A = this chain, B = another copy of it.
Amino acid sequence: MTEIEAPPHPFDAAITLTPAAGGALRGRTRPEYANMVGPFGGVTAATLVQAVQQHPDRLGDPLSLTVNYTAPIADGDFDITARAVRTNRTNQHWLLELEQDGVVATTATAVFGTRRDTWSDTEPDMPSVPSPDAVPARGLSDFIAWSHNYEMRFVEGGIPAQDAGEHPDSTTTLWVRDTPSRPLDFPALTSLCDVFYPRVFLRRGRYVPAGTVSLTVYFHADAAEIAAQGDGHILGTARAHRLSRGYFDQTAQLWGRDGTLLATTHQWVYFKD
């Protein structure tokens, strides 16, 4: 009997990179992770992390990442170049560019490195919320393909219904994980950092044109802490500080169900309203 191989998880298919000309890595957008225009920014960020992770010169694990979305990514192939600009004893600095047809569509800088035992503390308390099974699962919108690949259970600040009206603050808190479920790793955690819909939707009670310009992730958790999450739910909470003249910031924390602060993440978002 021939053994039948299970197809890869859609997320793994979406971040797959193969060697291309000139030392680049070639990827391809996947319909499962399409956004309104181009791919979901979280998957693009995850693919850049993956590009470093599979690089032969890589030192250690992700520590910080900043992704700048410079131009729309069209459906189809893209090429990533990853350059280690500096390797120190315990960390390594990367510059990445994602190109399509000669246009730079995304740039990124990443810091990878090793960790060592030190004094440690987490200052904020994990938000006190009901367990995931006590919160109904609810999608973002039928029209947002990528959101179908995440199980979202909104504790507060769910995406506004039509004519919801203005909301006094921008906080969204939700349980979230890949669906079908998948063990957490650095790329999956990276993608989850962009899972929060634009805060201006919640404030205004409606959809307006908006998109991430720059996304930063700080990886607090090490590989063992991430592996310990298995395929369990992650608690994310996001808010804005100021929305003004076409831009706002969005800042978030991602917590493991065991109370580990896995990542803090920040982004700069444009909007029209």
Contact = CB atoms under 8 A, between A and B. Distances in A.
Interface string A93-136: 10101000001110111010001111111111000000000000
A142 interface: no
B86 A103 contact: yes
Number of copies: 2
A251 B249 CA distance: 13
A133 to B, nearest CB: 27
A181 to B, nearest CB: 26
Contacts of A247: 63, 115, 220
Contact of A109 (B66, B218, B264): B66
Given A93-B68, A222-B245, A266-B218, A239 B111 contact: no
A47 interface: no
Contacts of A120: 242-245
B242 A261 contact: yes
Specify which of A120, A242, A253 lies most central, judged by the most chain B CB atoms within 10 Å of its CB: A242
A239 B123 contact: yes
Interface in A24-76: 63-64, 66, 68, 70-71
Given A85-B97, A109-B68, A242 B273 contact: no
A93 B116 contact: no
A218 B249 contact: yes
Interface of A: 63-64, 66, 68, 70-71, 85-86, 88, 90-91, 93, 95, 97, 103-105, 107-109, 111, 115-124, 169-170, 203-204, 213-214, 216, 218, 220, 222, 239-247, 249, 251, 253, 261, 264, 266, 268, 270-273
Given A63-B247, A108-B109, A117-B245, 7 more contacts: A64-B213, A95-B95, A115-B245, A120-B242, A121-B242, A122-B244, A123-B169
